Chains A and B, each alone.
Chain A
Amino acid sequence: MIWECFFMGTLLATGWILLVTRGVRGWCQPALSFVLGSCTYVVIGLGQVVLHLPTYPVVTLAIAWVFNLSCLGSALRAGRLTRASVNGPMLAASFGGLLMVVVTLRQLNFVTWHSDSFRYAMASALIADSHFVEMSTNLLTKRMFGYPVLHAPALFIGEYYFRSLAPLLATATTWTLAWFVFEGLNTSGATQRDKWLMSLIAVGLLVSNNRFLWNSFYLNGHLLCALTLLVTVGAGWLRARGSQPRATYVLLQNLAVPVLVTTRPEGALLAAFALVPSLASAGTSKAERTLLLSNLGATCLGWHGYVMHSCLVRGDIEASSIGLCGLGAILLATAFMVHRWQAVTRWFAYLVPAAEIALWCALLAFSLVRPAVMRSSIAATLRNVGLDGASWGSSILVLSALVAATLTFTRAPDRTLLRFPVTTFIPLMLLLAPLRGEAYRVGNWDSLTRMLIHIVPLAVLLLAASASSRGHLPFRRRVRAKAVQPTMATDGLARE
């Protein structure tokens, strides 16, 4: 129990130091600290793997603490960390609360699993004993690194997983979502009451979802993927909305992206699609674009290069790793071009429609090449989602209907940043079926069914963020003909 408390405390402390030394205050601190701390830990571990250093968790923790202390030291020297910048009660409540949650969850011992969970635990054990080179091609390409490395220190106490990690990630997801909604509505000038109410409703919608709660105890990387996707997209959206401090949002995005890439096999594609609107946004500076592109490119090249090399040593050729290495190289080349020639960014305005069209064309092409796989996948997905074949109930149907109605009947500035990753998710996931050469199945064990959680928090954010949007009727002219007096003008709308 002490070891688990120490590890979770280290994650929280790492993120807290990163936030406080950048002057971030407020009720977002505990959740964002845990998210940033977890991401930093994964990034340190990733560095160890790519540089062929031992992957013992003690080494990772030692590097994390050296990093923490050097951050603290430099902030103190530069005068960025003063007594006034530290919110004592918030700090005490965060660590006290974390301790209580860990102790309670260790007693409750809730866990949900599936056969993949045993593979994740196996990967954790190999990382913990620094046997990473013994990972098979299957384990490297499917279970990857981001989630197992966070559970690896549990082997110290003879367990294969931390009982509190998944619930803490779920809490961080919920809390971060609430804060994104609150801060997003804040930039639209919504009233205090509306901001709190909508944040609470967003949290309610997420935690009342049966599959979200299942994922909150599930030994799998889905929730970490959902959290990092939410952070990547949400931070980009808030940055575009002009929320401050801007540098913190860039940091959040840049730490979440490597975790997203190394948590799920489709993570690199998800990260690329999540960043497209951020890169296309007129408000993104040249330096930010270069940083985002080079970060994603370097992570893809670093991780998938390592996987490709490990596969080649075993005599295997992994097409997906080769493809994603190529993507990494292209992204790095683009980052270089953006840095060198400003004129390149003119073309970024067409990124969103081009990516959307390319995705749908690819889906159409693969449907023609492998019609049977695509037909079976669509049929299975419709049964899973529409006829409750996979324990989602009708929640996905309801959520989809709400998203469709909101996108059709309302307009909001900068919403493309939230809309694009949501609307491209389904074609992207369907495209993975022919790419892996296997159709999706009916039941709880189906991959796409479980992957749907990746997009749920983001869809809820999209809905809640639309509270300050403008109404838009497609049959506008007819309404104008019957012109009536305006019915409402919220504070947010008045400011817009």
Chain B
Amino acid sequence: MRRARAMPPNAPNTLDIKSMLFGALALAIVVNVAQFWSVNARTRKNYRSFAHYPNADLVAIDGHERSLFRRHHQRALEFREAISPGATLVFPADRELVDDELAQQLLSYGRARELRRVPYDPSVLGKSVRTTKHVLAKVKAKKRRAREFLVVARGRDAREFALLRRNETDMLIEIALLPKAIRSEVSP
């Protein structure tokens, strides 16, 4: 590596770098401090240098009705509010059949405990399932190409759910509610 060119200690172009640098850096600190509060004053709360929240629950921090957090994770939050923590989910083994986003949301913010991958086609099995009763939570599709989402169970304490699909609707249905033939397919 190239090293700095050696110069005699009394070279005429040697400057008092140290003092100049001390001064320049001190001035930079003054500039930073002078604009500190004005920057905070014109910035949204979550972009301010300090922001206090009552607790560490992300849902509470940005969980109000039209928040960014709720918009992005609505399916998981609806599931979390409808079903007690610790549920087991059954998803198709072929990952291309269902959006990975749904599985990871339900496992993280939805508080599901386990996810089992079983070989089945959710659209084929979902055709013969009726969901007029026991709908605990519903998320309407607000974007184009998004799907409606239903949570179907007899109560909050339901433990096992299978993901089925009918008419562009993803349904998490309590396995105990499914017809016997479908039940044997999703929980062999």
Binding site for B on A (CB under 8 A): 108-115, 117-118, 121-122, 125-126, 129, 131, 134-139, 159-161, 163, 194, 197-198, 201-202, 204-205, 208-211, 213-214, 216-217, 240, 277, 280-282, 313-315, 349, 352, 388, 391-395, 398-399, 402, 405-406, 409-417, 444, 463-464, 466-473, 476, 479-480, 483-490, 493-494, 496
Instruction: Tell whether, in the assembled complex, residue B18 and residue A468 are in contact, meaning their CB atoms are under 8 Å apart.
Output: yes
Which residues of the partner chain A approach B48 to less than 8 Å between Cβ atoms? 112, 214
Besides A112-B50, A398-B32, A402-B25, 20 more A-B contacts (Cβ < 8 Å) are A110-B52, A125-B109, A160-B57, A202-B25, A205-B28, A210-B32, A282-B1, A352-B2, A393-B36, A395-B32, A398-B28, A406-B21, A412-B4, A414-B3, A444-B44, A467-B22, A470-B14, A486-B9, A489-B14, A490-B18
Instruction: Tell whether, in the assembled complex, residue B15 and residue A473 are in contact, meaning their CB atoms are under 8 Å apart.
Output: yes
Instruction: Tell whether, in the assembled complex, residue B47 and residue A194 are in contact, meaning their CB atoms are under 8 Å apart.
Output: no
CA distance A391 to B7 in the complex (A): 42
Give the tally of cross-chain contacts (CB within 8 A): 225
Which residues of the partner chain A approach B18 to less than 8 Å between Cβ atoms? 194, 467-468, 488, 490
Most interface-central of A122, A160, A398, A494 (chain B CB within 10 A): A122
* Contact among B3, B12, B26, B103 with A486 in the assembled complex (CB-CB below 8 Å): B12
Instruction: Tell whether, in the assembled complex, residue A205 and residue B29 are in contact, meaning their CB atoms are under 8 Å apart.
Output: yes
Q: Decide yes or no: A213 and B50 within 8 Å by CB, A314-B96, A399-B28, A402-B24 being known contacts.
A: yes
Which residues of the partner chain B approach A466 to less than 8 Å between Cβ atoms? 17, 21
* Contact among B1, B29, B55 with A277 in the assembled complex (CB-CB below 8 Å): B1
Query: B11-56: which have CB < 8 Å to A?
Result: 11-18, 21-22, 24-26, 28-29, 31-33, 35-36, 38-40, 43-44, 46-56
Instruction: Tell whether, in the assembled complex, residue B32 and residue A136 are in contact, meaning their CB atoms are under 8 Å apart.
Output: no
Interface bin, chain B: 35 or more
Closest chain B residue to A483 by CB distance? B12
Which residues of the partner chain A approach B11 to less than 8 Å between Cβ atoms? 470, 486
For the complex formed, measure the closest distance between the CB of B70 and the CB atoms of chain A, giving whole angstroms: 10
**Is B139 an interface residue when CB atoms closer than 8 A count as contact?**
no
Instruction: Tell whether, in the assembled complex, residue B100 and residue A467 are in contact, meaning their CB atoms are under 8 Å apart.
Output: no
Instruction: Tell whether, in the assembled complex, residue B51 and residue A489 are in contact, meaning their CB atoms are under 8 Å apart.
Output: no
Which residues of the partner chain B approach A277 to less than 8 Å between Cβ atoms? 1
CA distance A208 to B31 in the complex (A): 9
Q: Decide yes or no: A134 and B103 within 8 Å by CB, A388-B39, A412-B4, A480-B12 being known contacts.
A: yes
Which residues of the partner chain B approach A108 to less than 8 Å between Cβ atoms? 52
* Contact among A160, A194, A280, A315 with B95 in the assembled complex (CB-CB below 8 Å): A315
Which residues of the partner chain B approach A398 to less than 8 Å between Cβ atoms? 28, 31-32
Instruction: Tell whether, in the assembled complex, residue B50 and residue A197 are in contact, meaning their CB atoms are under 8 Å apart.
Output: no
CA distance A487 to B10 in the complex (A): 8
Q: Decide yes or no: A479 and B17 within 8 Å by CB, A214-B49, A352-B1 being known contacts.
A: no
Which residues of the partner chain B approach A213 to less than 8 Å between Cβ atoms? 49-50
Instruction: Tell whether, in the assembled complex, residue B39 and residue A391 are in contact, meaning their CB atoms are under 8 Å apart.
Output: yes
**Is B81 an interface residue when CB atoms closer than 8 A count as contact?**
no
CA distance A110 to B73 in the complex (A): 23
For the complex formed, measure the closest distance between the CB of B169 and the CB atoms of chain A, giving whole angstroms: 21
CA distance A489 to B11 in the complex (A): 10
Instruction: Tell whether, in the assembled complex, residue A201 and residue B22 are in contact, meaning their CB atoms are under 8 Å apart.
Output: yes
For the complex formed, measure the closest distance between the CB of A444 and the CB atoms of chain B, giving whole angstroms: 4
**Is B137 an interface residue when CB atoms closer than 8 A count as contact?**
no
Instruction: Tell whether, in the assembled complex, residue A470 and residue B17 are in contact, meaning their CB atoms are under 8 Å apart.
Output: yes
Q: Decide yes or no: A210 and B40 within 8 Å by CB, A486-B11, A488-B16 being known contacts.
A: yes
Which residues of the partner chain B approach A415 to less than 8 Å between Cβ atoms? 4
**Is B131 an interface residue when CB atoms closer than 8 A count as contact?**
no
CA distance A394 to B51 in the complex (A): 22
Query: B70-102: which have CB < 8 Å to A?
Result: 72-73, 95-96, 100-101
Instruction: Tell whether, in the assembled complex, residue A118 and residue B72 are in contact, meaning their CB atoms are under 8 Å apart.
Output: yes
* Contact among B4, B28, B53, B58 with A118 in the assembled complex (CB-CB below 8 Å): B58
Closest chain A residue to B44 by CB distance? A444
**Is B113 an interface residue when CB atoms closer than 8 A count as contact?**
yes
For the complex formed, measure the closest distance between the CB of B107 and the CB atoms of chain A, giving whole angstroms: 5
A-B CB proximity, top 9 nearest: A471-B15, A125-B108, A136-B100, A208-B32, A213-B49, A486-B10, A393-B35, A411-B4, A122-B108
Instruction: Tell whether, in the assembled complex, residue B9 and residue A484 are in contact, meaning their CB atoms are under 8 Å apart.
Output: no
**Is B157 an interface residue when CB atoms closer than 8 A count as contact?**
no
Instruction: Tell whether, in the assembled complex, residue A109 and residue B56 are in contact, meaning their CB atoms are under 8 Å apart.
Output: yes
Q: Which of B61-69, B118-126, B159-167, B174-182 contacts A (4 or more CB under 8 A)?
A: B61-69
CB pairs A–B below 8 angstroms (23 shown)? A109-B56, A114-B46, A114-B47, A117-B58, A118-B69, A118-B72, A121-B58, A136-B104, A159-B57, A194-B18, A201-B29, A204-B25, A208-B33, A209-B32, A210-B32, A217-B50, A282-B1, A313-B95, A402-B24, A402-B25, A416-B2, A469-B4, A486-B9
* Contact among B36, B40, B95 with A314 in the assembled complex (CB-CB below 8 Å): B95
**Is B130 an interface residue when CB atoms closer than 8 A count as contact?**
no
Which residues of the partner chain A approach B50 to less than 8 Å between Cβ atoms? 110, 112, 213, 217
For the complex formed, measure the closest distance between the CB of B104 and the CB atoms of chain A, giving whole angstroms: 5
Instruction: Tell whether, in the assembled complex, residue B16 and residue A487 are in contact, meaning their CB atoms are under 8 Å apart.
Output: yes
CA distance A476 to B107 in the complex (A): 67
Q: Decide yes or no: A394 and B35 within 8 Å by CB, A129-B113, A159-B56 being known contacts.
A: yes
CA distance A125 to B52 in the complex (A): 23
Instruction: Tell whether, in the assembled complex, residue B43 and residue A217 are in contact, meaning their CB atoms are under 8 Å apart.
Output: no
